[in-house]
Structure 1
Amino acid sequence: MNLVTYTVFFHRLRQTDVKAGHFERKVQALESERDQWESKYEEMSKKYTQVQKELEDFQNEIGNI
């Protein structure tokens, strides 16, 4: 192999390495976003359950009037 072949090979290798790094960062960002959405979902689910309980209590109070 000559110098040009090595240069082309290492250039392609470097491009692949850069792309891999880009996609690794992209995956990390998406995983972080997913975790945030899961946290928001859990929070909203708890609030929904609490509001449902309050509604049931209110309906029971109205039914007793």
Structure 2
Amino acid sequence: MTGPLIVQSDKTLLLEVDHELADACRRVIAPFAELERAPEHIHTYRVTPLGLWNARAAGHDAEQVV
């Protein structure tokens, strides 16, 4: 079985919302990735400098993000 998340080189994350692990994955990426688009089956998130800054300010370290 593959996971619900695809990480792309342009700093976007594609989340397959129908996957059984999608909700857990969403909770993990929420502190550092911003939702850009939310069509029916695939949600697109982007990792941004501000998102990383906010995650660090909330106590998340680089290891948790990676």
Tell me the TM-score range normalised by the shorter chain: under 0.3
RCO higher in structure (CA 8 A, sep ≥6):
2
For normalisation by structure 1, the TM-score amounts to 0.22
Please identify which structure carries the higher strand content: 2
Asked which structure has the greater CA Rg, the reply is: 1
For normalisation by structure 2, the TM-score amounts to 0.22
Please identify which structure carries the higher helix content: 1
